[in-house]
Structure 1
Amino acid sequence: MTQATAIIVGASSLLSREIAKQLSAQGVELSLLAQDPDSLREFAQSLPSKATVHALKVEQPQAIISTLESLWQDLNGAHLVIVNTGLNSYDASLPWQPEEDIITVNVQGFSAICNTAFRLFTEQGYGQLAAVNSIAGLRGGPSVAYHASKAYATNYLEGLSMHAQRLKLPITITDLQMGLLDKAAMQGSRLWLSPPDEVAKQVIKAMKSAKRKAYITKRWRLVAWLTKLLPEFIYNTRHWRTKEQRLAEKAAQKSK
């Protein structure tokens, strides 16, 4: 296998598409997995390098395993597997169904993808697994299952990296710690939101540098550091409030 080949699991997001565009421009052949493959076919045809599209059932771990194994055989292996799957929601009443869905996708589905990719890399003798994760996993948060699932992902990836070292195999595990982009978007914060092409550029740079862990974009490293240091009574004041909601609260306090 001489042609650089990458598999992107969860390829329909804006970030995944931008990563695919930049990798394709560098001559990397791509296999794009998405829950709605038809929505990606036109995009795949527009890429300069060869790109194929495949269906992904992220809520069915066994189906994920079968899909990856079959695709791996068709490709005769791959150099890189990028995982960008995830589910998030917030409801202050904490109904069980959204929590269960998050656990199914972010824990079971994620584990099935990473476990299968690592096993295939082990058989191949080399490779890189890069996962789009989040600094939300540093602490608990209002979206309880989501924050917990990201902590799980961090530890799962670290465990795989340790296992690769024990096996003495050149398998790189890259944990791409994204900032709290959902929160930044809700609050309309231009400071913390970066253009998708810049985010993808930093992702690709981190992968090429074989980083074990990288904060994307780099400015979120500071937020991660502060998040770990804050005492709980201060950290707990961080809510998913928009800028308008915060201003309304301040106005209400002044009127009292």
Structure 2
Amino acid sequence: MMTNLFSSFDPSTSFNLSLNWLSTFLGFLFMPAMFWLVPSRMNFMWIKICSILHQEFKILLGSKIKGSTLIFVSLFSFILFNNFLGLFPYIFTSSSHLVLTLALALPLWLSFMIYGWINNTTHMLAHLVPQGTPPILMPFMVCIETISNIIRPGTLAVRLAANMIAGHLLMTLLGNTGPSLSLMMINILIIVQLLLLLLESAVAIIQSYVFAILSTLYSSEVN
């Protein structure tokens, strides 16, 4: 049972090749129709979402780095497409793997750190000791702040992957109990599964937003 349960999260379940990772690029198939055909409600809605995100990220980043909001809006869109595609049957959820989430979080964090320590060394050193810290606690605060800074890409990656895989596992476990239930319990199970699917849709949006907004906050700290 455990092999079947986790097989949906295994990248090499199809023909012993990692063809499932191609689902990461399925989101790009929706882009041409949305941007190049006659403007529709979906197009208007997506442009509205991007403009709202641009305004939010611009407030966090300030006016020092122009054009940076495009990176974070694109990051939000990419994660959102992958999260939503994973809710469809027989489509591989690439955002539930640490390989993908770390590949998104680690380069961003590294680039922020390298930029900050090279260009704003004094500012980065000042961040290690919060204002108003007693002198006796300063060495401990430096250690705590350094550790919290180092684990940031890990927490970003694990948060996204764990939230995506938890809901999918719960839905799979509940779905596997279907054949052994009575008709009344199956009806209740279907209602529960629909509610879980609604919850997972909300989680897909929230986690992509959280990933993008935390990346923006981390970048705003190095200026």
Question: Do they fold alike, i.e. is TM over 0.5?
Answer: no
- When you count helix as a share of all residues, which structure comes out higher? 2
Q: What is the TM-score of this pair, normalised by structure 2?
A: 0.28
- When you count strand as a share of all residues, which structure comes out higher? 1
Q: What is the TM-score of this pair, normalised by structure 1?
A: 0.26
- Between 1 and 2, higher relative CO (CA 8 Å, sep ≥ 6) is seen in 2
